[in-house]
Amino acid sequence: MATELWKLSATELARRIARGECTSVDAVEAHIARIGDVDRSLNALVVKRFDAALAEARDADRARDEGRSLGRLHGVPITVKESLDVVGLPKTWGLRSRSKSSSAVQDDPYVARLRAAGAIVLGKTNVSQLLIFYEADNPVYGRTNNPWSVKRTPGGSSGGEAALIAAGGSPLGIGTDIGGSLRVPATFCGLSAMKPTQGRLPDTGGPPIFAGQTAIESATGAIAREVADVVLAIECMNGGRNPAAEPPRPLGDPHALDVSTLRIGYYSRAGSFAAAPGVARAVEEAAGALHQLGARVVPFDPPYPDHAEELFYGILSADGVAGARAVLGRTRRDRRVADLMKYASKDRAGIARTIGFLKLLGQHRLARVANTYGFQDTSHYWQLVAEQAEYRRRFAEALDRAASGPIDVLLGPACALPAFAHGESRTLGTIGAYATMYNVLGYPAGVVPITRIGRDEEVGRVRSRDWVEKAALKAETGSFGLPVGVQVIARPWREHVAFAVMLALEAALRKRPDYPRTPIDIA
What is the CB neighbour count within 10 angstroms for residue 335?
11
Single out the residue of 205, 195, 154 nearest to residue 437, CA to CA. Answer: 195
- pLDDT value at residue 102: 80
How far is 343 from 19, CA to CA, in rounded Å?
A: 57
Residues 76, 171: contact at Cβ < 8 Å? yes
pLDDT at 333 over 80: yes
Kindly give, in sequence order, each residue whose CB lies less than 8 Å from that of residue 33, ignoring residues fewer than 6 positions away. 3, 6
E strands, 8-95, in order: 45-48, 77-81
pLDDT at 2 over 80: no
Residues 96, 106: contact at Cβ < 8 Å? no
Single out the residue of 159, 189, 190 nearest to residue 175, CA to CA. Answer: 159
pLDDT at 365 over 80: yes
Please report which confidence band the pLDDT of residue 431 belongs to, taking 50, 70 and 90 as the band edges: confident
- pLDDT value at residue 211: 86
For the stretch 8-60, pLDDT in tens is 999 999 999 999 999 999 999 999 999 999 999 999 999 999 999 999 999 99
Q: Can you tell me the mean pLDDT for 93-117? A: 94
Name the average pLDDT for the chain: 95
**Residue that wins the pLDDT comparison between 432 and 95:** 95
SS3 content of the chain, % helix, strand, coil (to 5): 40, 15, 45
Residues 408, 492: contact at Cβ < 8 Å? no
Q: Is 102 left (phi over 0), alpha (psi -120 to 50) or beta?
A: beta
Cα torsion angle, 270, 273, 279, 281, sign: positive
Share of the chain above pLDDT 70, in %: 98
- pLDDT value at residue 521: 62
The string of DSSP letters for 104-129 reads BSS--HHHHHHHHTT-EEEEEE---G
pLDDT at 307 over 70: yes
Q: How far is CA 21 from CA 1, 14, 100, 171, in A?
A: 11, 10, 39, 18
For the stretch 138-197, pLDDT in tens is 999 999 999 999 999 999 999 999 999 999 999 999 999 999 999 999 999 999 999 999
pLDDT at 523 over 60: no
**Lowest mean pLDDT segment, chosen from 90-94, 463-467, 487-491, 512-516:** 463-467
- pLDDT value at residue 101: 77
The whole model's pTM is what? 0.97
Three-state DSSP class for 409? strand
Angle at which helix 495-509 crosses helix 277-292, to 10 degrees, equals 100
pLDDT at 460 over 90: no
- Tell me which amino acid residue 34 is: R
Q: Can you tell me the mean pLDDT for 294-318? A: 97
Q: Domains along the chain?
A: 7-308+382-509 (3.90.1300.10), 309-377 (no CATH)
The string of DSSP letters for 181-202 reads TTHHHHHHHT-EEEE--TTTSB
Single out the residue of 438, 427, 429, 432 nearest to residue 416, CA to CA. Answer: 432
- 3-class DSSP string for 381-398: HHHHHHHHHHHHHHHHHH
- 3-class DSSP string for 250-269: CCCCHHHCCHHHCEEEECCC
Which alpha helices (H) appear in 43-106, and where do they start and end? 50-65
- pLDDT value at residue 3: 65
Q: Can you tell me the mean pLDDT for 236-258? A: 93
The string of DSSP letters for 306-336 reads HHHHHHHHHHHTTTTTHHHHHHHTTSPPPHH
Kindly give, in sequence order, each residue whose CB lies less than 8 Å from that of residue 467, ignoring residues fewer than 6 positions away. 363, 366, 427
Q: Catalytic residue numbers?
A: 81, 157, 181
Three-state DSSP class for 466? coil
- pLDDT value at residue 129: 98
How far is 372 from 355, CA to CA, in rounded Å?
A: 11
Share of the chain above pLDDT 90, in %: 93
pLDDT at 1 over 70: no
Q: Can you tell me the mean pLDDT for 100-126? A: 95
